[in-house]
Amino acid sequence: MSEGALSRTEPTAAEGAPLLSVRDVTAGFGATTVLHGISFDVVPGEVCGIFGLNGAGKSVTMGVLAGIIPARSGRIVYNGRDVTAMSAEHRVALGWGHVPQGRQVFPQLTVEENLRLGAFTLRRRNKSRYPAVLTSVLERFPILAERRTQLAGTMSGGQQASLAVARALMSEPTLLFVDEPSAGLSPLAIRDLFTALKAVADTGVSMVLVEQNVAFGLQIVDTVHVLQTGQVKLAKAVQDVDAGELGERLGVGRLLGAGIEQVLASRKGDSRG
């Protein structure tokens, strides 16, 4: 375990207990209810996948988890602690990192300045760790190392996606929330990004990954949750998911295609975390 990680309150949940537990959460805007009581768990070290079509409530779920959108009812428990009413800032201080939908890098700042902002909580916690973390993040994303001084707004979509993930890693998160990292990227850029995300997951960082690109998402998630009109329609270990059922719960029927069956078949052999 790294020095930086030690200086933060580390998860002490009992063995097998979820790191994050979302229970019956509802949320909405004005008279509209968007989330109708959603529940799921994230076990330490696991990549929790949330899939769903446009408007299913995926980003609202992420907003509630980030503490930006209030839960109207239900509970969010992290490591045994009820965080439902906790501010977004305090959640970040718990070791939560966010890669928001649309990346939202600061276009007028350089790559390195963006990374420095991502290290805001790290620098407050343990200032001396910043250079080491910067070095390790830049090693993980060589394209960013090459372009440290380039303005983020002038980078390609794929490079900005890498920067958004890298920026979140600068706080050495225990739990990372990633909202549709693949949106708008070419298949090649998506593949590179998912390779990077998988490598992050392999270091033991727990993750909640929201994706519309089911074929890519299924390659790195441990659990599959399908969200439809603000309800969890399917919740299973990836090994247990059947392509037909997935298409049906997503509401796309057989449109998912044969590629999905191949990915699911390739995951059957993976051992459970």
Ligand X SMILES: Nc1ncnc2c1ncn2[C@@H]1O[C@H](COP(=O)(O)OP(=O)(O)OP(=O)(O)O)[C@@H](O)[C@H]1O
Residues forming the site for ligand X (CB under 6 A): 29, 34, 52, 54-60, 101, 212
DSSP symbol at 110:
B
Nearest approach in angstroms of CB 99 to ligand X is 14
Closer residue to Mg ion (CB): 101 or 110: 101
Beta strands in 162-213 (DSSP E): 175-179, 206-211
Separation of first and last alpha carbons in the chain? 19
Closer residue to Mg ion (CB): 63 or 67: 63
Among Mg ion, ligand X, none, residue 228 binds (CB under 5-8 Å by kind): none
Among ligand X, Mg ion, none, residue 217 binds (CB under 5-8 Å by kind): none
Contact residues toward Mg ion (CB under 5 A) are: 58-59, 101
Closer residue to ligand X (CB): 70 or 204: 70
Computed from CA positions of residues 147, 150, 152, 156, in that sequence, does the dihedral angle turn out positive or negative? negative
Among ligand X, Mg ion, none, residue 173 binds (CB under 5-8 Å by kind): none
Nearest approach in angstroms of CB 226 to Mg ion is 14
DSSP string, 51-83: E--TTSSHHHHHHHHHTSS--SEEEEEETTEE-
Nearest approach in angstroms of CB 233 to Mg ion is 17
Q: Which residues of 38-76 are buried (b: 16+ CB within 10 A; e: fewer)?
A: bebbbbbebbbbbbbeeebbbbbbbbbbbbebebeebeb
Computed from CA positions of residues 34, 17, 236, 101, in that sequence, does the dihedral angle turn out positive or negative? positive
Nearest approach in angstroms of CB 135 to ligand X is 34
Among Mg ion, ligand X, none, residue 21 binds (CB under 5-8 Å by kind): none
* CA 214 – CA 259 distance, rounded (Å): 10
- Pairing type for strands 206-211 and 223-228 reads unpaired
The widest CA-to-CA distance across the chain, in whole angstroms, is 53
Closer residue to Mg ion (CB): 58 or 267: 58
Closer residue to Mg ion (CB): 8 or 98: 98
Nearest approach in angstroms of CB 36 to Mg ion is 17
Closer residue to ligand X (CB): 29 or 258: 29
Nearest approach in angstroms of CB 31 to ligand X is 10
Nearest approach in angstroms of CB 55 to ligand X is 4
- Which residues contact residue 198 at a Cβ distance below 8 angstroms, ignoring those fewer than 6 apart? 219, 220
Computed from CA positions of residues 93, 96, 113, 106, in that sequence, does the dihedral angle turn out positive or negative? negative
Closer residue to Mg ion (CB): 58 or 167: 58
Among ligand X, Mg ion, none, residue 29 binds (CB under 5-8 Å by kind): ligand X
